[in-house]
């Protein structure tokens, strides 16, 4: 039955209100970033800016090396993303296309690790990184996250949707597992690989606790920790804090906006095969 004009109007109004409630924290961050110090500290607080003052962004660069922090974050997130793509795609291919004893049990154990909260493994990971002398280094920031059970599960579900006839035709032409994986599986799996790339990059980009644990010097700090350096014990200029936050979230926000369609498509495709 076709919905009436009134029903559709009410639905759009409700959806618009819900979208505004979700987006307002992000919009408020940018509003605060362009407020003057007087407007930002006014009580009651202003919901929208009364004037536009862009000097906060320049002050953020003078107070903390935010450019270096963002560069570190991009480097760590990029290395982690590439590592997860390599390890997860190879493991997913083995679970989806190869036959070996104990495969199902091993995959079940692999998937079961997703149920373990990250906080449980944080201390063992920290002790391992410290014993290897990797504190305050890029190895300590990236190596513990180069493998992911979620990525393996996501890619395995996608690989299982590839037709068996394609693999059989490739075998007739003398194609082995390695060549089939590189020449056929990876090009056909670009939606799933793109989804995993966006997810892993954003997940690592927004990481706070692990970089705080394993880094000690400003040269190795990431952007999320750099924002906390804008808060001072005597007083806090909220326009500076929000200007730093706006600078940090802008790259990830753009990546999410341009990659959202790819992210949703890959998630939906990976959920079709059990």
Cα separation, 223 vs 202, in Å, equals: 13
Q: What's the token pair of residue 203?
A: 């997940």
Mean pLDDT by 10 residues, the chain (274 residues): 79 93 89 85 81 86 87 93 95 91 90 86 92 92 92 91 86 87 90 88 90 89 84 74 87 78 66 51
Residue-level length of the chain: 274
Q: Are 188 and 155 in contact (CB under 8 A)?
A: no
| CA 85 – CA 82 distance, rounded (Å) | 5
- 154-194 per-position pLDDT tens digit: 999 889 988 888 888 888 888 888 999 999 899 988 888 98
Residue with the two structure tokens 């536009």:
52
Do 192 and 161 contact (CB within 8 A), yes or no? no
The answer to whether the predicted template modeling score (pTM) of the entire model surpasses 0.75 is yes
Tell me, rounded to whole angstroms, the distance of Cα 65 from its chain centroid.
Answer: 23
- Do residues 83 and 197 touch, judged by C-beta distance below 8 A? no
pLDDT of residue 272: 53
Which residue in this structure is represented by tokens 């880094």?
Answer: 215
- The predicted pLDDT at position 92 comes to 94
CA 79: distance to chain centroid?
Answer: 13
pLDDT score for 77: 93
pLDDT of residue 127: 94
Which pLDDT tens digit goes with each residue over 219-256?
888 888 888 887 776 667 788 888 888 888 888 788 77
């Amino acid at each position: 039955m076709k919905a009436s004009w009134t029903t559709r109007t009410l639905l759009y109004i409700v959806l618009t209100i819900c979208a505004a409630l979700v987006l307002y924290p992000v919009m408020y961050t940018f509003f605060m970033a362009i407020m003057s110090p007087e407007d930002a500290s006014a009580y009651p607080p202003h919901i929208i800016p009364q004037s536009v003052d862009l000097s906060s962004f320049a002050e953020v660069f003078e107070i903390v090396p935010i450019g270096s922090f963002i560069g570190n974050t991009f480097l760590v997130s990029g290395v982690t993303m590439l590592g997860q793509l390599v390890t997860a795609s190879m493991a997913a291919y083995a679970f989806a296309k190869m036959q070996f004893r104990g495969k199902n049990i091993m995959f079940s154990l692999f998937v079961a690790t997703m149920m373990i909260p990250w906080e449980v493994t944080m201390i063992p990971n920290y002790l391992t990184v410290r014993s290897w002398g990797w504190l305050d280094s890029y190895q300590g920031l990236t190596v513990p996250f180069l493998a992911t059970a979620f990525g393996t599960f996501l890619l395995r579900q996608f690989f299982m949707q590839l037709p068996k006839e394609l693999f059989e035709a490739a075998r007739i032409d003398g194609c082995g597992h390695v060549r089939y994986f590189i020449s056929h599986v990876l090009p056909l799996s670009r939606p799933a690989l793109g989804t995993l790339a966006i997810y892993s990059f954003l997940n690592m980009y927004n990481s706070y606790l692990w970089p705080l644990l394993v880094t000690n010097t400003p040269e190795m700090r990431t952007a999320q920790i750099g924002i906390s350096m804008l808060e001072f014990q005597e007083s806090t200029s909220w326009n500076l804090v929000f200007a730093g936050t706006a600078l940090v979230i802008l790259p990830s926000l753009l990546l999410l906006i341009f990659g959202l369609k790819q992210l949703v498509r890959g998630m939906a495709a990976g959920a079709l095969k059990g």
